[in-house]
Structure 1
Amino acid sequence: FFPPILKGFLTETGLEAANLGIQVFGGHGYIHDHGMEQIARDARIATLYEGTTGIQALDLLGRKVLLATKGKCVRDFTKVMFDFAKQHALAGTPLGKMSRSLLKRALEWNVLTTRIMLRARSDRELVGSASVDYLMYSGYVMMAYFWALQAGKAAELLANGKGKEADAFYQAKIQTAEFYFARLLPRANAHRTCAVAPTKAVMQMDNNHFTLE
């Protein structure tokens, strides 16, 4: 359950980060001098070897979620999310806000999985068309949980003064988690919508229309 999400999601977002690095340098990022083009090439191959993102997505949704566990792997992980989030959901702190979002996402992930499971019984193309979006949705939600864990630990160390790093380090952890929840996690909404979109839009075109002649 974890490997296809982590491999697929992190390599795709790593490639995005490498491309943004080139963008920061502008034209200088495109040439050899600063090494950004090498980083981008290295990041690109990571999405391909040991199973492309598409293969990882099919393994996640088709094999691990639907066939092997019938959604139990998602239910088990979202229970961990729920148990953590409910401890902090009433707090008027950044962690409290993150926890309330996690509670919503835990329910949403299970609903999405169930919808796909039920529809896949009558639509054999659904798993293929939904798999990459399902993987990316899962990645964004899973990473939200791990960012909330980091924010919670950082807040704890700030409060008790037992951290080995400067307070600014732990404050930056909380602020980065807030950035993730505000600016990156909402991308999951688009992936959720696409994952349950009708498969007709994907499959209706005749194969001959893909030729270059």
Structure 2
Amino acid sequence: MSVQRDDVTGFVTLRGYRLARITGRISSKWVFARQWVGWSEDRHSKIHIPDQPGLFEVCTANRRRGLDVAYWVVSGVAGAFQCGQIQRAAALALARELHDGTAIAWDMWRERGDTYVRERRAARRTELQALADACDTRALPSLRGTPAQIRWATVIRDALARLAPDHRHCRRCTRAKWWIEHREQIAVVVASLPRAEAEREPWEL
């Protein structure tokens, strides 16, 4: 095993060729922001004993002389640690919350991290579908892409179309992926457009 728990002492031991505590997410090839706690250049296993809860990446060797990567959540307090493995998708979601500074319920992530991510994604799809259904797209060309991309892009485009229906991008850009990739720039444009008092949010009056 790459992770072991001593039932007598309650401590968790990580073992692998590369061990890292994940501290958040970064915009780079690696995606995760890591704090390395063990790195072996000679293929010998390193050992790390966590002293506080966290999300860890553990790399171990496989039969093809490659590396298998696993993500483990360690929760509890020293002397009473528990550990549980989660999938990469859940690890990415947890890393995002670490990056945002959100208070982490480590026990919840350890026990049902993968299920929690699936439930949150389903809720997000339902929310986006409701927003997309409420958008008036009759005067605009259809968007091309996957159903998920179209739902998201429809909401982004509608925010611009409501304030600037004749904006060139509303009619010329029909790839849903384009709207998603440029959502931050579009948000800046929308924020700069004049709006009637009735269209402003209460905190903007």
Q: TM-score band, normalised by the shorter chain?
A: under 0.3
TM-score w.r.t. structure 2 length? Answer: 0.28
| Greater helix content | 1
| Pair member with larger Rg | 2
Q: Which has the higher contact order (CA 8 A, sep 6+)?
A: 1
| Greater strand content | 2
